[in-house]
Amino acid sequence: MAGLSTAAILSFMQLILSFGNLCILGYALFKFLNKPHNTLEAKVSALEADVAAIKISLVQGNNRFKDQDAVNKVIIHSLLALIEFEIQYCLTEHKDLSSSLEQAKNDLHNFLSNRSLHF
């Protein structure tokens, strides 16, 4: 009887070890099959971070262009005021207008009218 129980114990242990090996192989297969998914997930996360950084950069760039546009408007407005002042000064002092001053005024007005910027 002792031999029979030993054989039963050995077969039971063999069954447990076979089941354990099967579980380990199943886990390894599961990990192997999920590796492409995990790799793609990591790549998507990295690309999402890059897109977020690009969007932030675009917003900062757009804000910079808006600031530059405001500065350009102020400079152009000031330039027009200086040209008008110089023309008015020449007229009140009965001095001849230089053709380059009159040409600068006309060029600036033509440029602004073509760009649809009116000051």
Summarised one tens digit per residue, pLDDT across range 1-30 is 455 688 888 889 999 999 999 999 999 998
Closest CA to 76 of 30, 119, 36, 39: 119
pLDDT digits (tens, 9 = 90+) for 77-119: 888 888 889 888 888 888 888 888 888 888 888 888 887 654 4
Alpha-carbon span 119 to 33, nearest angstrom: 67
- Whether this prediction's pTM lies above 0.75 is answered by no
pLDDT digits (tens, 9 = 90+) for 19-78: 999 999 999 998 888 888 778 888 999 999 999 999 998 888 888 888 888 888 889 888
Q: What is the reported pLDDT for 4?
A: 66
Q: Are 90 and 104 in contact (CB under 8 A)?
A: no
